[in-house]
């Protein structure tokens, strides 16, 4: 007899997250193994061919499915000019993960997508409870979403090839935040613009049941917005 209680769906969802983590971990380690077997001969890996394998190091990364730990190889070569050893993790480089990075960009994208909904940090935390991040992490991601120019959600330099029409969706709001100063913590408002651009439906991937957008990119701006744009969105 199967035991079913009112926690059935919650337990089942948690089980799915655990299984997905295990699958992703195995896939990453399999990919690292493939790199090891092919980096000397595969043209797509030519930037690593002068390196030698040094060791295997464990890495932990927070992704949308939760916290994942996986092992990957570290490679090295001797710089001919300096005589010093240079290390590299080919798997990290291919995945676009920085050396210092502990949270994957997909998690940051998800958190930043709540800006326009004016959700409190606690609401965001509850929505993403399986990821096991803190309120401080959410706060830091929100605050660091601004730089001198603009923050691209997907951290890419990709340029869109516009076939005929570029669609732009944009909205603006004020985001209430806490700002720490020497005098204490005070409430502040940051003017925010969230924008998405795309070129319409992807003709190759589009189906009636699953419409797919082509060349989609997102941009978020915090407190770096010209006055004339602020007046328009207000």
Predicted confidence (pLDDT) per residue in 109-164, tens digit? 788 777 666 677 888 888 887 788 888 888 887 776 644 344 444 445 556 667 77
- Domain annotation covers residue 181: yes
Q: What is the CA radius of gyration of the chain?
A: 22
Between 225 and 7, the more confident residue is 7
In angstroms, what CA-CA distances link 34 with 42, 53, 58, 177?
10, 13, 17, 45
Expressed in angstroms, the distance from the first to the final Cα of the chain is 60
Answer whether 145's CB lies under 8 Å from 156's CB: no
Query: What average pLDDT is seen over the chain?
Result: 78
Let me know whether 190 and 212 are in one domain.
Answer: yes
What average pLDDT does the segment 52-56 reach? 95
For residue range 174-233, list pLDDT tens digits in order: 666 666 555 666 676 666 777 777 888 777 777 766 777 787 777 666 665 544 444 444
Residue 89 and residue 128 in one domain: no
Query: Which residue among 74, 102, 130 closes a domain?
Result: 102
For residue 1, being part of any structural domain is answered with no
Q: Which of 45, 76, 102 delimits the end of a domain?
A: 102
Over residues 28-57, mean pLDDT:
94
Give SS3 for 132: coil
Same-domain pairing of 132 and 79: no
The pLDDT score that the predictor gives to residue 117 is 67
Q: Residue 88 pLDDT more than 90? A: yes
Task: Kindly state the percentage of the chain with pLDDT values over 70.
Answer: 71
CA-wise closest residue to 167 among 209, 197, 210: 197
Whether 3 is covered by a domain: the verdict is no
Predicted local distance difference test score (pLDDT) of residue 176: 65
DSSP for 11-22 reads HHHHHHHHHHHH
Query: Is 172 contained in some domain?
Result: yes
Identify the sign of the CA torsion 16, 19, 21, 26.
negative
Question: Is residue 159 located within the same domain as residue 178?
Answer: yes
123 and 20 co-located in one domain: no
Contact 170, 150 (CB under 8 A): no
Range of the domain at 157: 106-233
Question: Are 171 and 118 a contacting pair, CB within 8 Å?
Answer: no
Stated as kind and residue range, the H or E segment containing 69 is strand 66-78
Q: How many domains does the chain have?
A: 2
Residues 129 and 200 in one domain: yes
Q: What is the pTM of this model?
A: 0.59
Whether 83 and 156 share a structural domain = no
HSE toward the beta carbon, residue 228, CA cutoff 13 A: 0
């Amino acid at each position: 007899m199967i035991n079913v209680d009112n926690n059935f769906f919650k337990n089942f969802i948690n089980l799915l997250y655990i299984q997905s983590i295990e699958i992703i971990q195995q896939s990453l380690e399999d990919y690292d193994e493939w790199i090891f077997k092919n980096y000397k001969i595969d043209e797509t890996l030519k930037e690593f061919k002068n390196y030698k394998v040094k060791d295997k190091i464990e890495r932990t990364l927070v992704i949308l499915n939760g916290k994942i730990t996986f092992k990957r190889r570290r490679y090295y070569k001797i710089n001919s000019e300096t005589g010093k050893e240079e290390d590299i993790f080919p798997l990290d480089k291919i995945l676009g993960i920085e050396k210092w990075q502990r949270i994957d960009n997909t998690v940051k994208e998800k958190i930043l997508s709540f800006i326009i909904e004016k959700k409190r940090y606690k609401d965001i935390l509850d929505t993403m409870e399986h990821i096991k991040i803190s309120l401080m992490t959410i706060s830091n991601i929100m605050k660091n979403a601004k730089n001198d120019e603009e923050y691209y959600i997907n951290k890419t330099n990709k340029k869109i090839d516009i076939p005929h029409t570029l669609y732009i969706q944009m909205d603006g709001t004020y985001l209430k935040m806490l700002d720490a100063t020497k005098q204490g913590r005070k409430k502040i408002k940051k003017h925010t613009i969230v924008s998405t651009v795309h070129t319409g439906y992807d003709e190759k991937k589009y189906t009636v049941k699953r419409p797919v957008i082509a060349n989609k990119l997102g941009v978020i701006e915090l407190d770096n917005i010209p006055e004339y744009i602020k007046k328009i969105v207000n």
